[in-house]
Amino acid sequence: MTHIQINGAEIYYEDSAPDDTQKPVMVFAHGLLWSTRMYDMQVAHFQDDFRCIVFDFRGQGQSQITKDGYDMDTLTEDTIELLNALNIVKCHFVGLSMGGFVAQRIAIKHPKLLLSLILLETSADPEDSKTAPQYRKLLTAIRWLGMKRVSKKVMPIMFGNSFLEDKSRKAECKAWLAQLQKNHKVGVTKATEGVIERKGVYKQLGDITTPTLVIVGDEDVATPYSKAERMHFAIKGSKLAMIKGAGHTATVEEPEQVNTVISKFLECCA
């Protein structure tokens, strides 16, 4: 658990085996409004066999809030610089939502870095013209009222009904609501703007030759199945998996399903 200065920002990261040069490396990139914490169950599952590296994008989690640099290309540069600083030559890369936007750009521009590509709850397209205005209204509300005041409206975007309505998981739901509310207003505003204004990379997906797994929750309303299927058809040889009872944050909602699907995929890659 430490910080590193790269590309003009102080980035927080966690490395499960910093001195182990024998284990294959897995890198996890989180989604918008979250942090390394959304992968706790994956790191716990894979760290015996893999060197697991998780990090917070600038402006989120414990990373520095910078004046600029929140576009997807700069976040991709941040990620590449982090891997270089840690002497990572090859890795399995896992990206969820915003992390998936970055993961696709790495696969397109820096394919030699990747052993495999795992895309969860993400899209290769720009923000949908139907949802962009809604997200801009939400962004305005965050800017003026703060994250705490709008967090309950964000929860149904981030999680499916199965998780939100499960009384046995009420404490979990409350804990993740608290995580949302911890977001710094300035950092999360800048990060959200970067996501809303992102350019699509769909036309470049045909260039990806890395073994790829696309994962989507069957209750994901932010990036639904159609978005995942579109990427799957565009990336030659990719695999597509659906997680039952999960929304936009499957790593939290259904960690066992996600871990099993990823494990089986990595076995095929090996």
pLDDT for 50 equals 98
Answer whether 217's CB lies under 8 Å from 225's CB: no
Answer whether 245's CB lies under 8 Å from 218's CB: yes
Residue 134 pLDDT greater than 90, yes or no:
no
Tokens found for residue 41? 């169950």
The average pLDDT across 223-241 equals 97
- The lowest-confidence range among 25-29, 103-107, 194-198 is 194-198
pLDDT for 137 equals 81
Buried b vs exposed e over 96-108: b needs ≥16 C-beta within 10 Å? Answer: bbbbbbbbbbbbb
Residue 257 pLDDT greater than 90, yes or no:
yes
CA distance 249 to 38: 8
Pick the more confident residue, 130 or 115: 115
Query: Percentage of the chain with pLDDT > 70?
Result: 100
Contacts of 154 (CB under 8 A, 6+ apart): 33, 138, 180
Distances in whole angstroms, Cα of residue 41 to Cα of each of 221, 253, 256? 23, 10, 8
CA distance 180 to 189: 13
CA distance 238 to 45: 23
CA distance 58 to 69: 8
pLDDT for 146 equals 78
What average pLDDT is seen over the chain?
95
Buried b vs exposed e over 31-56: b needs ≥16 C-beta within 10 Å? Answer: bbbbbbbbbebbbebbeeebbbbbbb
pTM: 0.96
Residue 131 pLDDT greater than 90, yes or no:
no
Strands 212-217 and 51-55 turn out to be: unpaired
pLDDT for 70 equals 97
User: Kind and range of the H or E element at 262?
Assistant: helix 255-269
Q: For residue 178, how far is the Cα from the chain centroid?
A: 19
Architecture of domain 2-269: 3-Layer(aba) Sandwich (3.40)
The conformation of residue 252, written as its DSSP 8-state character, comes to H
**Full strand arrangement of the beta sheet holding 212-217:** 2-6, 9-15, 51-55, 25-29, 91-96, 114-120, 212-217, 239-243
> pLDDT tens, 62-100?
999 999 999 999 999 999 999 999 999 999 999 999 999
- The packing angle between helices 98-109 and 185-196, to 10°, is 50
Residue 263 pLDDT greater than 90, yes or no:
yes
pLDDT for 148 equals 83
